[in-house]
Amino acid sequence: MGTAEGGAGMGPDERKRLFEQAREYSTRQHRWTEADRLWVRVIDAYREATRRPGPVDSEDRRQLARALWRRAMLLSALGRPGPGMVPGREAVAIFEQLNDAARGTGQDHATPRRDEALAELVTAVVDVAEVAFAAGQPAARVQLLERAIAAGLLTVGSPTTAGPRTREALGTAYHNQATALLHRALSGSTGDLMEAALAASRACELRQGLLDPARPLGFWELANTYGVYAQCLVLVNEFDRAGTVLKLGNRLVDTLGPAGAEPALKLRVAAEMLAQQRGGVPRPRRWGWRRR
């Protein structure tokens, strides 16, 4: 019992079991405090495993990075994003090393192993960027999002040639970058609206290419990006294009039904912005708004 409680000398099966238990608890809000304690034990166990004499199992390092990353996100959800930055940054450093190791194999970047390594790196950096924002560090958020995108581009060159998991991760990175730059501009801080519009456009391109009826979340994600993209286009005076994007977004929202409430809100804001710029009033029938 003492060994399991402290994490010392824990075997690989027990580490995996504890990891899965912590992950399960993290999905239940009423068990978040317990989940945090479990993640501390999981991290200690995998840290010890990676420090033993002899060759280090890459899967143990990957699990350590995943545990640190998940604890960072949990701490943020618990209202402690500042402390969450510490395990978050450590996770990113390990994921970078794992991605470098995968690149060193000489395999094509779209193969499953390299795709997974790069996708996890990009996703972890994107998530830590949002932890930074929750911690009141908007500049760090933008810098981390730039770092996530740069990591992807350095490896694959063109995002559209990446493996599916990396394309999905980069789609989120570009979407979040557009959101961050838009937020900075609308809150009166410095922000490049044209760069925000370009990031949203890239996110749309990647998410359009990933649409799959077997993955409904992809339609929600694309509709969400359309809402951000349309707002950016209005602010850079691309009114006709904004109208086209709104129509595309509304079609998706209509198919999503009640599940599309969040993208619908972003699209509604964009429609109101567009109507104001054109000197009119939003007309529900034109823009397809429906009360749900």
Reported as a pLDDT band with limits 50, 70 and 90, residue 109 is: confident
Of 53-67, 101-115, 233-247, give the range with the top mean pLDDT: 233-247
Q: Which of 239, 200, 242, 241 is nearest to 221 (CA)?
A: 200
User: pTM value?
Assistant: 0.89
Q: Residue 64 pLDDT > 90, yes or no?
A: yes
Distance CA 287, CA 271 (A): 7
pLDDT tens for each residue of 47-61: 999 998 877 789 999
Q: Residue 286 pLDDT > 90, yes or no?
A: no
Distance CA 194, CA 200 (A): 10
User: Six-digit token pair at 16?
Assistant: 């995996």
